[in-house]
Every structure is written in C-alpha cells, then in structure tokens.
Amino acid sequence: MPASSSRAGSSRGATLDTDQTRRRSTPGPADASIVQVVQSLGKGGLEAMAANLAIALHHRGLRSTIVSLGEGGVLEQPLAAAGVPYHLLGDGRWRNPRTHAQLTRLFRSSGAHVAHTHHFAALLTAALPAAIARVPRTVHTEHAFQYLEPSRTLRSTLGVLSRTTDRFVVVGDEMRDYYRTAVGVDDRRLMVIRNGVDTARYRAHHDVAAARRKLGLPDTILVGSAGRLEPVKNYPLLLRATARARQLAPTLHLVLMGDGGERDALAQLATDLGLQDAVSFLGWRTDANDVMAALDLFALTSISEGLPLGVLEAMACAVPVVTTAVGDLPRVVHPDVGVTIPSHDETALADALVGLARDPARRRHMGHRAREMVLATYSQQAMVDAYLAAYDLAGPQ
C-alpha cells in the first residue's frame, strides 16, 4: 500500500527506448516531478542519501517522490516530517508483473519527468515501467562496485541496462574508472556526483562536554563509527585495535551507532577483549549529527565502500577520521584531514588511534581542514545542484 497519495500525471504508453532520444518534451523546473526508486527505506548510506536528496529537492520547490521496492523503515519518519510522498511496494521484485504495473502507475500518476534509480536491482526493475510511462529522463546512481566483481553476468547485464539511462552516476572517481572499463558504461552517459552532507545540520558543537552529558557519553577520548553491524564493516577489527590502543591511550572510548546481524557477536567480543565498559552500542539514532559532533575521532574499518556518508558527516562536524583505504576514501581523506590505513591492518589502526588520541592540536587542525573540505566539495547543496544538472533541470534556487 502506498504510504501517501500519488500526484496526478499523464498516462501515455511507450516501448523501451534505449537511446533516450524520443521522449516527451521537457517541462520547466516548476513543473518537474522526480521519482526515486530504492530497494528499501531502511538503514544504510544509500537509502539515507536518496531520502536526503528527496527532501532537499522538495525544499527547492520540485515535486519529489520516493518509491521503496521493499518495505519501509527508519527513513519513513523524516520523509513524512518533510512532506515528501513515499510508496512501499513490499514485494517489488523485477520478475513480479505486479511490480511493473505498480511502478508504471506511480510514474504516470506523479507526472514524472525524471525516474532516478539507485543500484542494480532498482534499475533492472524500473527501466521498463519508466519507458512504458514515457518518463522523459532516466538517471541511475551506483554507490559501490565491489558487489559486481564476483559476477560477470551482473556486470554485463548492468552494462546493457546502462544504455536505457540518460545519465549513469557514480559517487566517486575510482568508481567511474571501474564502470567505464569493467561494466562498459558509455563515457557520454557516465558522470561523477559525490555524496553531499547537510552542513547546517552536521557541524561542530560549541560545548562538547555539555553535549556529551546530554547524550549520556563519557567526557573522554571518544572514537565513533556508524553503519550497519555487518561483516562488510569489519567492526571486529575496530574492537581489537581499540583494545590494543588502550594499552597506550587508556582513556579511549568507542561509540558505535547502528545495528545489524553482528550486534550480539560484537558485544561478546567487546567483553572478551575487556572493553565492556569502554564501548557504547547506541543503535540507530535520529540525532546522529549530535553524536558525530561529540566525537574526537571517527573510524571506519570497512572492507569495501564507495564514498560513505558517515565519513563526510564526521568531517562536516570537524572530526578527523581514520579509515581503511577502500573505494574513493584515499582520494578524500588527505593527510591533513585524517589517516588512511591498509584494510585488515590492526596494528596500523591502533597506531593511528593512539597517535591522534595523544595529539589534540593535530586533531583540531585536521577537524578544521575536514570541515573546510566538506564545505568546498561535499556539501548537500553541491550534490543537489549536480543532480539537477543530471536531470536537465536548472531548478529553483
């Protein structure tokens, strides 16, 4: 069932048009409707980015809608609070004919000018309905590439599907090279739009000690991380490195925002490592910006990433970062804003944590430079402007 009503639109049909050259005329920005299609409205950086984009487009005066092929989740609340319509298909598999009919109706009823899909499954599912509904412009975003590497079939299929798009967006420069060479996306369609952060919301606290008291966090050296508690994030590495680092920096305290299938195993590992009083498991938070700004350091230990929002959000809060050198992070985390380490390197991570824990002046310098970098390159405003260009819309400013 839809979570809110659709907006009225046209109901003309069409056959699949792979070169996107015969579409109905482009409306002006005030008339434009953008419909994003995601796998779910649950927890994750991709979903958060799509929801943030939908809300930002709505605030700019465009008609913005988001469709979840699966279930709802934590992102329903901010979407509803912002007045952004969203729809939950529940069982939106591409093999389900009902899914195609639902999407076609939603594209038509919303008067969609742009169908914007995120990741392979959404593009596979929405490409035909968008063509049938004669949506004038299609944009697709990929947020990672590692999931494609084991399967040549997935890569070749996505290469074919990319021809149905007007713009094929990736969130980092390293990803652009991969999608051009390994997937075969036409360079004329391919573009990089970096993830962006709401820098008005994510910013430093004026009184960190007071913020920590309000959050119930200790006023010590706080190392934070955020994300799904799943194997790809490699939180055991962070726990083991923290235990090692505390031998030289005993005031380190770890703050984990998020939840997932490894929650119990990570809590047990923390106990086994003697960290039961040095780790706070906060679960999913609606005040992530306040928690981020209360940190001294942000650590990411993922095995694979594209350009994770958590790192950019921490940097926007003037918090230096320590991260594994995966995805586009080596291009973002310069030595003056943080430290990159080899994936799986417990010693390097522990050394980085100890070094920064002992050097508050260096942390302050890195944090200042990190916020400057986000303001200059990774703001939400810049991201929205870039997507409006991909949509072929000037957009109300």
Q: Kindly state whether residues 241 and 281 are assigned to the same domain.
A: yes
- Render 267-287 in DSSP notation, one character per residue: HHHHHHTT-TTTEEEEES-S-
Identify the CATH number of the domain in which residue 138 sits. Answer: 3.40.50.2000
Q: Kindly state whether residues 54 and 184 are assigned to the same domain.
A: yes
In a domain, 306, yes or no: yes
pLDDT of res. 297: 98
In a domain, 294, yes or no: yes
Q: Kindly state whether residues 146 and 157 are assigned to the same domain.
A: yes
- 37, 46, 5: which is closest to 135 by C-alpha? 37
Q: Kindly state whether residues 238 and 254 are assigned to the same domain.
A: yes
CB atoms within 10 A of CB 358: 12
Does the pLDDT value for residue 264 go beyond 80?
Answer: yes
> pLDDT above 70 covers what percent of the chain?
91
pLDDT of res. 387: 97
Does the pLDDT value for residue 19 go beyond 60?
Answer: no
Average pLDDT over residues 95-114: 94
In a domain, 65, yes or no: yes
In a domain, 4, yes or no: no
Q: Kindly state whether residues 240 and 184 are assigned to the same domain.
A: no
pLDDT of res. 14: 29
pLDDT of res. 306: 83
Q: Kindly state whether residues 227 and 147 are assigned to the same domain.
A: no
In a domain, 268, yes or no: yes
Q: Kindly state whether residues 189 and 224 are assigned to the same domain.
A: no
For residue 321, give the DSSP letter.
Answer: E
d(CA 103, CA 132): 10
* Number of domains, the chain: 2
Q: Kindly state whether residues 171 and 37 are assigned to the same domain.
A: yes
- 269, 326, 316: which is closest to 288 by C-alpha? 316
Q: What is the pTM of this model?
A: 0.83
CB atoms within 10 A of CB 197: 28
In a domain, 15, yes or no: no
For residue 181, give the DSSP letter.
Answer: I
pLDDT digit string, tens, across residues 302-327: 998 888 999 999 999 999 999 999 98
Q: Kindly state whether residues 63 and 164 are assigned to the same domain.
A: yes
Alpha-carbon Rg for the chain, nearest whole angstrom, is 22
Q: Kindly state whether residues 54 and 107 are assigned to the same domain.
A: yes
Q: Kindly state whether residues 189 and 243 are assigned to the same domain.
A: no
In a domain, 154, yes or no: yes
Query: What band does 20 get if pLDDT is binned at 50, 70 and 90?
Result: very low
pLDDT digit string, tens, across residues 50-103: 999 999 999 999 999 999 999 888 899 999 999 999 999 988 788 888 999 999
Close Cβ partners of 136 (under 8 Å, ≥ 6 residues apart): 23, 24, 25, 26, 113, 114
pLDDT digit string, tens, across residues 221-261: 999 999 889 999 999 999 999 999 999 999 999 999 999 89
Q: Kindly state whether residues 233 and 300 are assigned to the same domain.
A: yes
Sheet strands (E) in the chain: 33-38, 63-68, 86-88, 114-118, 137-142, 167-170, 190-192, 221-226, 252-257, 279-283, 297-300, 321-324, 338-341
pLDDT of res. 26: 43
The domain of 128 spans 31-196+379-390
In a domain, 293, yes or no: yes
Average pLDDT over residues 120-131: 96
